[in-house]
Amino acid sequence: MSLLARWCHRHRLAVVLAWAGLLVALGAAVGAAGSDFGNSPTAQNTDSAKATALLRKGAGSAAGKSGRIVWRVENGTVTDSAAEQPMADAVKEIETAPGVTSVSSPFTATGARQISRDGTTAYATVSFEEDVSDAQVAQVKQLATARESAALHIALNGQAFTVNPEPNPVADAMGIALAFVVLLFVFRALWVAVLPIMTAIVGVGGSAIAVMLLSHLVTLSDTTLTLGSLIGLGVGIDYALFIVNRHRTNLMAGMGVGESIAKSLDTSGRAVIFAGLTVVVALLGMLTLNVGIINGMAVGAAVTVVLTVLAAITLLPALLGLIGPRILSRRQRRAQAGPRAQDASGAGTGLWGRWAGRVQARPKTFGLVALVVLAALALPTLTLRLGAADDGNLPATSTNRQAYDMIAKGFGSGFNGPLVLAVDAPTAADKAAAAALARTIERVDGVAGVSAAPMDDGQNVGVISVVPTTSPQSAETSRLIDRLRSDVIPPAEQGTSMKVYVGGPTAGNDDFASVLLGKLPLFVLVIAALGFLLLTVAFRSLLIPAVGALLNILSIGVAFGAIVVVFQYGFGASLLGLGAAGPIESFVPVLVVGIMFGLSMDYQVFLVSRMREEWARTGDNQRAVRVGQAETGKVIAVAATIMVCVFGSFVFGGMRVISEFGVSLAVAVALDALLVRMIVVPALMHLCGRANWWLPRSLDRALPRVSVEGPAEEPARWAGPGHEPETAGIGR
């Protein structure tokens, strides 16, 4: 690492220009190729996936998008000439618009059901060609809304007309501004506040462009960019801060700028690389789930972390070289002659040194209280319900939300998410059984209405549309889906060759949630095992990695508890403009597990690596834990504060799924840094004594040797109870 640091320092202007050239080249490539994001979370081999496949088979080709045009009058009915005439004209124009295959109008004999019983609400369903362009959809929107007036309110929803909220640049700016204020307030030096943010922005900007190009090769959701920005800004600023903080310490100890940069990269730079590796491993662990959209988001986030780490170990040293001693405040430059004062114990005399002493004095009390608080905050996780929030949780100004509310008021909440039963009925007896099934479903609790078009003799695939009495995101709707699959459909299929599958967007989201929830425990175990292995290699210990893995799981529980309370229970969600109470988006917990596990490991690496460095020097566990906690407490607290600012700013970005990430990660990072790393970990390490550093000799020889804090003395090794620690390269 020192060689890389010295090279970047000597060629600092070339390194800065190379990064600028890279951004320009990537930007030009995106300008030519664009992006290709998609939003279709599906789970294979589920009932809803089979329903979709059967319906496509029956149609003879892949079906295109469809959407609803909904209109409502406050006075009179939609069949009055003042409302019917303009909407009938609009429907005729839309029927001949490019990209449109058909329009089901309520002003026909077969469309009477598309007018509400009170006559105030009606809708038309527009079906598009499979390859319809955005411009063609926009033209239909314009034709539909052109007739809106004070007496006739028009809104649109459905897959074709769904408008995904755009990433809010204000959220990014707010997080960056708060991070700048925190850094400036704590370190009282302008460049300390500027350089970490500048490095993170370059890393995130480059990764965003790279992810846009990657979207042509991998299935990526359009939330991947916002998610990458959320993660990249947090870890990018933190990683740069750790290096800058070590560089400042070296300068205050009397080192020259070039020597200090090399030393900082050879110590904190190594820790940054290892910490970034743990985040990448945790993110790529999501590939074990084998879900296309999750795989894509994991790869996109991993690319972001890799580029922020590269910026921290190449661009940052070059910038530090350009800045020179001005990274210190004027007062520090005047007092640069000697190292910072330390007390006799080796720990700083400041706030964190005193706190480390208190934890050492009463480890059982502090550790137990912190664990109880964390367990209580994680308790709501036991009621976690996955699903997909429906349009009823969108802002009231959204056309999708307005259409949802009009449909719910005119036809009932369940009409916003009907269940689509795909029927495979090859024989006449099967067709009769399908008709009987439709009549049976009408009497099932939770069903508001059923419609089934009769099948002709040459038609083997039929559709039964079931309208629930409850909204798409309701738990009652999920229970209705289960009831149909387990209690209603199997008896109807007995004695026939008929096969019936429950599909549609509502059932698809429900199946996707069930698949992910079933795989979540295995995913947690996989990344916990990977994290345990990485920490074992880094710290030559079994106890520290085991404790770290268990505490990381507890931090993840706190993250889940936060989103359950805010989004599922609804406490504070409406005040924050995040919609009403509803299920948690299916893929959010999976991504939170990967992200939070990696971030927790970061803090564990930065904390314990300093403890291990002191253990290697003295062989005194109590001193090592106290000094490590005292000397890393400030920078970990500042780093966590920055992450909370960045993550918290995304809560107000206008995207519910991103807000879920923001709330869960902000709460979990704050408590992980302050309770887990600054109380629980030191307390347990004080109680365990030299057993913290025990590793069987055979395993020690088998594992590769990785120096997280750079070249140092061989650490003391505890051979077990009754044995003094063996040392190599340190005095006894």
Q: What is the pLDDT of residue 728?
A: 37
DSSP alpha helix (H) spans, 285-424: 292-310, 316-323, 330-334, 351-361, 363-378, 399-411
> Tokens for 568?
């599922």
Which stretch of DSSP H or E encloses residue 451? strand 447-452
> Average pLDDT, stretch 370-394?
88
Least Cα distance to 564 among 585, 593, 549, 550 occurs for 585
Class of the CATH domain delimited by 351-396+518-703: mainly alpha
Q: Cα(234)–Cα(211) distance, rounded to whole angstroms?
A: 18
> Average pLDDT, stretch 561-569?
91
Residues carrying CATH 1.20.1640.10, the chain: 1-34+174-340, 351-396+518-703
Q: Which amino acid is at 705?
A: R
> Average pLDDT, stretch 697-711?
76
Q: Which is more confident, 225 or 70?
A: 70
Q: What is the pLDDT of residue 654?
A: 65
Residue with tokens 């390269």: 729
Size of the chain in residues: 732
User: Residue 68: what are its φ and ψ, rounded to 5°?
Assistant: -110, 140
Per-residue pLDDT band at 487 (split at 50, 70, 90) = very high
Q: What is the pLDDT of residue 49?
A: 85
Q: What is the pLDDT of residue 730?
A: 34
Q: Which CATH architecture has domain 66-157?
A: 2-Layer Sandwich (3.30)
> Tokens for 83?
């409302």
CATH superfamily of 1-34+174-340: Multidrug efflux transporter AcrB transmembrane domain (1.20.1640.10)
Residues carrying CATH 3.30.70.100, the chain: 412-509
Residue 229 half-sphere exposure toward CB, CA atoms < 13 A:
24
Q: What is the pLDDT of residue 42?
A: 54
- Rounded to the nearest 5 degrees, what angle is found at the Cα of 527, between the Cα atoms of 522 and 529? 95
> Average pLDDT, stretch 567-582?
77
Mean pLDDT (the chain, rounded): 83
Task: Please return the burial class of 13, using the count of CB atoms within 10 Å of its CB with bins 0-12, 13-18 and 19+.
Answer: exposed
Asked whether the beta carbons of 303 and 207 are under 8 A apart, the reply is yes
Q: Cα(441)–Cα(451) distance, rounded to whole angstroms?
A: 10
Q: Cα(587)–Cα(594) distance, rounded to whole angstroms?
A: 11
Q: Cα(4)–Cα(591) distance, rounded to whole angstroms?
A: 33
Q: Which amino acid is at 390?
A: D
Does position 269 have pLDDT exceeding 80, yes or no?
A: yes
Least Cα distance to 232 among 720, 661, 551 occurs for 661
> Tokens for 499?
């096969």
Does position 138 have pLDDT exceeding 90, yes or no?
A: no
Q: What is the DSSP string of 363-387?
A: HHHHHHHHHHHHHHHHGGGGG--EE
- Say which range, 157-166, 175-184, 581-590, has the weakest mean pLDDT: 157-166
Q: Cα(623)–Cα(694) distance, rounded to whole angstroms?
A: 17
Least Cα distance to 431 among 463, 467, 399, 405 occurs for 463
Per-residue pLDDT band at 619 (split at 50, 70, 90) = confident
Q: Cα(148)–Cα(350) distance, rounded to whole angstroms?
A: 66
* Partners of residue 115 on adjacent β-strands: 122
* Partners of residue 104 on adjacent β-strands: 125
Per-residue pLDDT band at 163 (split at 50, 70, 90) = low
> Tokens for 604?
């564990």
- The per-residue pLDDT for range 46-74, each reduced to its tens digit, is 888 888 888 877 665 445 678 889 999 88
Q: Cα(242)–Cα(485) distance, rounded to whole angstroms?
A: 55
Does position 43 have pLDDT exceeding 60, yes or no?
A: no
Q: Which is more confident, 197 or 109?
A: 197
N-term to C-term CA, the chain: 31
Q: What is the pLDDT of residue 707?
A: 67
DSSP alpha helix (H) spans, 188-220: 190-214
- The per-residue pLDDT for range 506-532, each reduced to its tens digit, is 888 888 888 888 888 888 888 888 888
Q: What is the pLDDT of residue 75?
A: 86
Asked whether the beta carbons of 437 and 431 are under 8 A apart, the reply is no
Q: Which is more confident, 463 or 372?
A: 372
Does position 365 have pLDDT exceeding 90, yes or no?
A: yes
> Average pLDDT, stretch 116-144?
86
- The per-residue pLDDT for range 407-457, each reduced to its tens digit, is 999 888 888 888 989 999 888 888 889 889 999 999 999 998 888 877 777
Could you tell me the sign of the dihedral formed by the alpha carbons of 177, 179, 182, 187, in that order? Answer: negative
Q: Which amino acid is at 497?
A: S
- Rounded to the nearest 5 degrees, what angle is found at the Cα of 709, between the Cα atoms of 703 and 714? 55
Per-residue pLDDT band at 344 (split at 50, 70, 90) = very low
Task: Please return the burial class of 722, using the count of CB atoms within 10 Å of its CB with bins 0-12, 13-18 and 19+.
Answer: exposed
Task: Please return the burial class of 161, using the count of CB atoms within 10 Å of its CB with bins 0-12, 13-18 and 19+.
Answer: buried
Q: Regarding the domain delimited by 412-509, which CATH topology (the fold level of the hierarchy) does it fall under? A: Alpha-Beta Plaits (3.30.70)
Q: Are strands 66-73 and 121-128 parallel, antiparallel or unpaired?
A: antiparallel
Asked whether the beta carbons of 668 and 644 are under 8 A apart, the reply is no
Q: What is the pLDDT of residue 172?
A: 67
> Average pLDDT, stretch 19-25?
91
Residue 652 half-sphere exposure toward CB, CA atoms < 13 A:
13
| For the chain, percent of residues with pLDDT exceeding 70 | 90
Does position 385 have pLDDT exceeding 60, yes or no?
A: yes
Q: What is the pLDDT of residue 109?
A: 76
Q: Which is more confident, 41 or 291?
A: 291
Q: What is the pLDDT of residue 188?
A: 80
Per-residue pLDDT band at 585 (split at 50, 70, 90) = confident
Residue 47: partners with Cβ closer than 8 Å, 6 or more residues away: 485, 501, 502, 503, 507, 511
